[in-house]
């Protein structure tokens, strides 16, 4: 009972006295440009897309199919891929191996202009193609989305070497830089890339859901057109919607099925749950609970404002009411009596400063907070 009262006191005080959350977090980003408007701005993939929606889509693909996409190091070194383009440095692992093997045989690096494209990047290319009349695959049908294609600079030089190793040149002179490696088609990332967008959309728009079937249809295209280039408030692989990505893609959320568990959450000691993802639950004792109140600025730790914390061995854990100061053996419990209010506290302090100078019981804390916060709210309404 005592622990429950302490928890209630801590939660009530933090709720009453918390400041407004800082701006600029996951849920507060400004997202001014729609995907369908990007081609009007001109140029290659804009940073807002690559750093925003594209990253979220890649995170979601990795959440659906962990390990299917792998990073490569862009380097001007023999046997390496190199790029100066602003693109994700990702391909399927077998595709990276096949491209770097060709480069190694020539003791050279291979410069590429495109590798893996998420469905947002592919939609951007497709809009550009429609506007300018060049060849671009419809989203959901590009081998770039599958992580199996590269666009190669100096393609005339590399073509015979790539073809000799087993690469395909499927479009010939219609798309000279484009080469594909099809050693492994499972799972099909052309489908999973679309499904990643559908999942992100539904997570952020539960009132306007679309099927998560991986098919690029009219409903999915209409939502993509209305999506901001900088992404969604809730990002990729944030399955519980708490603003933190799962550890399965390298994120910090240690339990992505529980929105109350994430870095920065209030840790409750002794409940067997690691709320703040520190690596372990906080061991619990009666003294720890009072220390928690001090740590969260609920109680003032100054020695002249509190009676000493009771020794653990001297605590009463019987089922008798908390307000009864008498033990069964006749000895007395430590008593935490409320101190007089501090007249220097301003109207907007929400009783926090008063509470920090008091010697209050947990039950007294709850009653004091209820009255103080209620009075403060009534005063604000009147003014």
CB atoms closer than 10 angstroms to residue 176:
14
pLDDT value, residue 348: 41
pTM above 0.75, yes or no: no
pLDDT per residue as tens digits for the range 284-306: 765 666 666 666 665 666 655 54
CA dist., res. 308 & res. 203, Å (int): 50
| Helices and strands: H and E segment counts in the chain | 11, 6
pLDDT band at 225 (very low <50, low <70, confident <90, very high): very high
CA dist., res. 172 & res. 45, Å (int): 25
Beta bridge mates, 151? 114, 178
pLDDT per residue as tens digits for the range 57-70: 999 999 999 999 99
pLDDT value, residue 99: 98
CA dist., res. 164 & res. 275, Å (int): 55
Mean predicted confidence (pLDDT) in 201-208: 95
Classify 112 as helix, strand or coil: strand
pLDDT > 90? residue 71: yes
CA dist., res. 261 & res. 271, Å (int): 13
Which residues fall within 8 angstroms of residue 27, CB to CB, at 6 or more apart?
233, 234, 243
Give the residue among 234, 297, 182, 283 at the shortest CA–CA distance from 60. 234
Tokens of 208: 């306007």
Alpha helices (runs of H) in 166-264, residue ranges in sequence order: 189-204, 218-225
pLDDT > 50? residue 3: no
pLDDT value, residue 369: 58
pLDDT value, residue 374: 58
pLDDT value, residue 268: 80
Instruction: Show the beta-strand stretches assigned E in the chain.
Output: 70-71, 81-82, 90-91, 110-114, 149-152, 178-180
DSSP state letters, 275-334: TT-SSSPPP--HHHHHHHHHHTTSS---TTTSPPPPPGGG---SSS-TT--B-TTS-B--
pLDDT value, residue 296: 61
Highest mean pLDDT among 26-35, 241-250, 262-271, 286-295: 262-271
pLDDT value, residue 16: 42
């Amino acid at each position: 009972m005592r622990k429950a009262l302490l928890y209630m006191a801590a939660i009530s005080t933090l709720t009453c006295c918390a400041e407004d959350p800082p701006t600029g977090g996951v849920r507060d980003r400004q997202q001014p440009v729609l995907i369908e408007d990007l081609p009007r701005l001109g140029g290659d993939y804009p940073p807002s897309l690559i750093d925003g929606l594209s990253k979220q889509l890649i995170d979601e693909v990795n959440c659906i199919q962990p390990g299917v996409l792998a990073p490569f190091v862009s380097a001007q070194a023999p046997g390496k891929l190199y790029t100066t383009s602003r693109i994700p440095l990702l391909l399927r692992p077998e595709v990276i191996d096949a491209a770097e093997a060709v480069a190694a045989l020539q003791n050279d690096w291979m410069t590429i202009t495109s590798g893996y494209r998420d469905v947002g990047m592919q939609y951007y290319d497709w809009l550009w193609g429609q506007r300018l009349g060049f060849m671009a695959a419809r989203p959901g049908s590009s081998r770039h989305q599958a992580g199996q294609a590269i666009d190669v600079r100096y393609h005339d030089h590399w073509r015979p070497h790539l073809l000799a190793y087993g690469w395909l040149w499927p479009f010939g002179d219609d798309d000279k830089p484009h080469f594909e490696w099809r050693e492994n088609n499972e799972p099909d990332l052309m489908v999973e890339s679309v499904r990643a967008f559908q999942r992100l959309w539904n997570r952020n728009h539960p009132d306007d859901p679309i099927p998560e079937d991986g098919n690029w249809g009219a409903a999915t295209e209409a939502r993509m057109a209305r999506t901001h280039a900088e992404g969604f408030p809730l990002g990729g692989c944030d399955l519980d919607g708490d603003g933190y990505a799962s550890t399965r893609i390298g994120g910090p959320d240690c339990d992505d099925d529980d929105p109350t568990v994430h870095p920065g959450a209030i840790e409750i000691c002794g409940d067997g749950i690691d709320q703040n993802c520190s690596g372990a639950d906080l061991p619990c004792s009666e003294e720890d609970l009072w220390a928690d109140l001090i740590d969260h600025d609920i109680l003032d730790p100054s020695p002249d404002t509190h009676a000493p914390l009771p020794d653990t061995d001297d605590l009463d854990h019987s089922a008798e009411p908390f307000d009864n100061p008498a033990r069964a053996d006749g000895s007395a419990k430590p008593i935490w009596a409320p101190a007089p209010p501090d007249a220097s506290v301003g109207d907007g302090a929400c009783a926090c400063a008063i509470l920090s100078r008091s010697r209050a019981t947990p039950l007294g804390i709850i009653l004091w907070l209820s009255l103080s916060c209620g009075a403060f709210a009534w005063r604000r309404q009147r003014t």
